[in-house]
């Protein structure tokens, strides 16, 4: 919501309403909090995320997506706003969805940075349901006693294609070949 100052400027607010029983009857307590600073910090963080070349998704401890950058739309087909509030499994192929919560819990229990290229065969799921090979880097951070997990996701389809072509070239060579 937004509020207006005496000078006519508008600013974002958060409003909390609470019923209070009194001798005079039911009253409503209203707390209005200026969240201008928080909004600016969120916009700054979003700009940082959007400037990265890879897709990035931030998830809370309940596996809910709290933020995603613009590259997610190019990679997965979802607008970042579509993903906010969804469980991270929306981006995981169906065949892996059942086991993903336990893998997430294991990482959340011991959130050690995992760089890309850890030799795991990983796949993402686009909005249309199609799958594609990915590399994922995982890290975490904590603010105000709340844990968040960042996934940096890179489509490696072109690299996989090149590796297959190279392997086919080596396999079809008439002479023995050794690559060092």
Profile the chain (180 residues) by mean pLDDT over runs of 10 residues: 93 92 91 90 86 93 95 95 96 94 91 76 94 93 90 87 74 72
Cα distances from 157 to residues 15, 56, 114, 161, in angstroms, run 47, 18, 21, 6
* pLDDT at residue 113, rounded to an integer: 84
Cα distances from 45 to residues 51, 52, 175, in angstroms, run 10, 11, 55
**In whole angstroms, what separates CA 156 from the centre of its chain?**
18
- Assigned token pair, 168: 């086919």
Q: Which domains does the chain have, with CATH numbers?
A: 2-34 (no CATH), 45-164 (3.30.450.20)
Query: In whole angstroms, what is the distance from residue 151 CA to residue 71 CA?
Result: 12
Of 48, 81, 46, nearest to 65 (Cα)?
81
Sheet with 10-22, edge to edge strand ranges:
2-4, 10-22, 25-34
* pLDDT at residue 74, rounded to an integer: 93
Query: In whole angstroms, what is the distance from residue 155 CA to residue 123 CA?
Result: 9
* pLDDT at residue 120, rounded to an integer: 76
* pLDDT at residue 94, rounded to an integer: 94
Query: In whole angstroms, what is the distance from residue 140 CA to residue 60 CA?
Result: 10
Tokens 């508008």, residue located: 10
**In whole angstroms, what separates CA 39 from the centre of its chain?**
19
* pLDDT at residue 117, rounded to an integer: 66
């Amino acid at each position: 919501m937004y509020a207006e100052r005496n000078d006519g400027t508008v600013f974002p607010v958060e409003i909390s309403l609470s019923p209070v029983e009194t001798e005079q009857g039911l009253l409503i307590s209203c707390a209005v909090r200026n969240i201008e600073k928080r909004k600016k910090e969120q916009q700054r963080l979003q700009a940082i995320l959007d400037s990265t070349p890879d897709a990035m998704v931030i998830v809370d401890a309940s596996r809910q997506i709290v933020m995603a950058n613009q590259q997610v739309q190019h990679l997965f087909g979802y607008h970042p706003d579509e993903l906010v509030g969804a469980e991270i499994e929306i981006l995981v192929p169906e065949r892996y969805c059942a086991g993903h919560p336990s893998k997430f819990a294991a990482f959340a229990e011991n959130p050690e940075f995992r760089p890309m290229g850890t030799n795991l065969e990983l796949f993402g799921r686009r909005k249309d349901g199609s799958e594609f090979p990915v590399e994922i880097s995982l890290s975490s951070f904590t603010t105000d006693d709340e844990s968040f997990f960042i996934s940096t996701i890179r489509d490696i389809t072109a690299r996989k294609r090149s590796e297959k072509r190279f392997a086919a070239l080596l396999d079809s060579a008439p002479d023995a070949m050794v690559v060092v």
